[in-house]
Amino acid sequence: MRYDLAVRSTRVVTGGVERPATVCVQNGRIRQVAGYDTVVHADYLLDVGADALLPGLVDTHVHVNEPGRTEWEGFASATRAAAAGGVTTLIDMPLNSVPPTVDPAALKLKREAAHGRCVVDVGFWGGAVPGNRGELEPLYDRGVFGFKCFLVDSGVPEFPPLQPEELVTVARELARIGAPLIVHAEDPRWLEPAPGGRAYGDFLASRPARAEDVAIARLAALSQETGVRVHVLHLSSASALDTVAAAKAAGAALTAETCPHYLVLAAEEVPDGATQFKCCPPIRNDANRRQLWRALADGTLDCVVSDHSPATPQLKETGDFGTAWGGIASLQLGLPLVWTEASRRGHSLVDVVRWMAEAPARLAGLARKGRIAPGYDADLTVFAPDAEFTVDPRRLAHRHPVTPYAGRTLTGEVRGTWLRGTSVNAAPRGRLLSRGDA
Claim to verify: residue 6 and residue 87 sit in the same structural domain: no
**Residue-wise DSSP of 16-72:** TEEEEEEEEEETTEEEEEE-TT---EEEEEEE-TTSEEEEPEEEEEE---TTT-TTT
Q: What's the CATH number where 12 sits?
A: 2.30.40.10
**Residue-wise DSSP of 327-379:** -B--TTTHHHHHHHHHHHTT--HHHHHIIIIIHHHHHHT-TTSS--STTSB--
Q: Does any domain span residue 432?
A: no
Claim to verify: residue 38 and residue 69 sit in the same structural domain: no
Claim to verify: residue 197 and residue 256 sit in the same structural domain: yes
Q: Does any domain span residue 436?
A: no
Task: Write down the pLDDT at residue 438.
Answer: 56
Claim to verify: residue 274 and residue 385 sit in the same structural domain: no
Q: Which structural domain range is residue 130 located in? A: 56-364
| Domain-terminating residue out of 364, 385, 407 | 364
Claim to verify: residue 208 and residue 222 sit in the same structural domain: yes
Mean pLDDT of the chain: 97
194 pLDDT band (50/70/90 cuts)?
confident
Claim to verify: residue 296 and residue 413 sit in the same structural domain: no
Q: Are 93 and 61 in contact (CB under 8 A)?
A: yes
Helices 164-177 and 133-141 sit at what angle, rounded to 10 degrees? 30
Task: Write down the pLDDT at residue 1.
Answer: 86
| Domain-terminating residue out of 341, 364, 387 | 364
State the total domains in the chain: 2
Does the pTM exceed 0.75?
Answer: yes
- pLDDT of 147 > 60? The answer is yes
> In which element (H, E) is residue 221 found?
helix 209-226
Claim to verify: residue 41 and residue 175 sit in the same structural domain: no
64 pLDDT band (50/70/90 cuts)?
very high
Express each pLDDT in 382-397 by its tens digit: 999 999 999 999 999 9
Which are the contacts of 134, defined by CB distance < 8 A and separation ≥ 6?
A: none
Express each pLDDT in 338-380 by its tens digit: 999 999 999 999 999 999 999 999 999 999 999 999 999 999 9
Q: What's the CATH number where 171 sits?
A: 3.20.20.140
| Domain-terminating residue out of 315, 333, 364 | 364
Task: Write down the pLDDT at residue 378.
Answer: 98
Q: Are 36 and 8 in contact (CB under 8 A)?
A: yes
Express each pLDDT in 258-301 by its tens digit: 999 999 999 999 999 999 999 999 999 999 999 999 999 999 99
398 pLDDT band (50/70/90 cuts)?
very high
Q: What is the mean pLDDT of residues 405-418?
A: 97
Claim to verify: residue 115 and residue 10 sit in the same structural domain: no
Q: What angle do CA 300, 304, 308 make, to 5 degrees?
A: 140
Q: Does any domain span residue 176?
A: yes
Express each pLDDT in 83-123 by its tens digit: 999 999 999 999 999 999 999 999 999 999 999 999 999 99
The total number of residues written for the chain in this structure: 438
Q: Does any domain span residue 430?
A: no
Residue 138 CA: distances (Å) to CA of 95, 142, 268, 314 = 18, 6, 46, 38
437 pLDDT band (50/70/90 cuts)?
confident
Rounded to whole angstroms, the Cα distance separating 137 from 146 reads 10
Rounded to whole angstroms, the Cα distance separating 31 from 247 reads 39
Q: How far is CA 254 from the centre of its chain?
A: 17
Q: Does any domain span residue 431?
A: no
- pLDDT of 167 > 70? The answer is yes
Q: Does any domain span residue 288?
A: yes
Claim to verify: residue 277 and residue 408 sit in the same structural domain: no
Residue 284 CA: distances (Å) to CA of 142, 263, 300 = 39, 10, 18
Q: How far is CA 212 from the centre of its chain?
A: 19
Q: What is the mean pLDDT of residues 149-174?
A: 98
Task: Write down the pLDDT at residue 300.
Answer: 98
Task: Write down the pLDDT at residue 426.
Answer: 78
Q: What is the mean pLDDT of residues 174-183?
A: 98
User: Which of 53, 55, 75, 65 has its CA nearest to residue 97?
Assistant: 65
Report helix, strand or coil for 182: strand
Q: Does any domain span residue 435?
A: no
Claim to verify: residue 189 and residue 226 sit in the same structural domain: yes
Rounded to whole angstroms, the Cα distance separating 332 from 308 reads 9
- Residue 134's CB is within 10 A of a number of other CB atoms, namely 9
> In which element (H, E) is residue 289 found?
helix 286-298
Claim to verify: residue 49 and residue 60 sit in the same structural domain: no
Task: Write down the pLDDT at residue 191.
Answer: 97
Q: Does any domain span residue 437?
A: no
Express each pLDDT in 203-212 by its tens digit: 999 999 999 9
For residue 99, is the peptide bond before it cis, meaning its omega torsion is within 30 degrees of 0? yes
Query: Between 438 and 376, whose confidence is greater?
Result: 376
Q: Are 304 and 292 in contact (CB under 8 A)?
A: no
Claim to verify: residue 340 and residue 260 sit in the same structural domain: yes
Rounded to whole angstroms, the Cα distance separating 178 from 94 reads 19
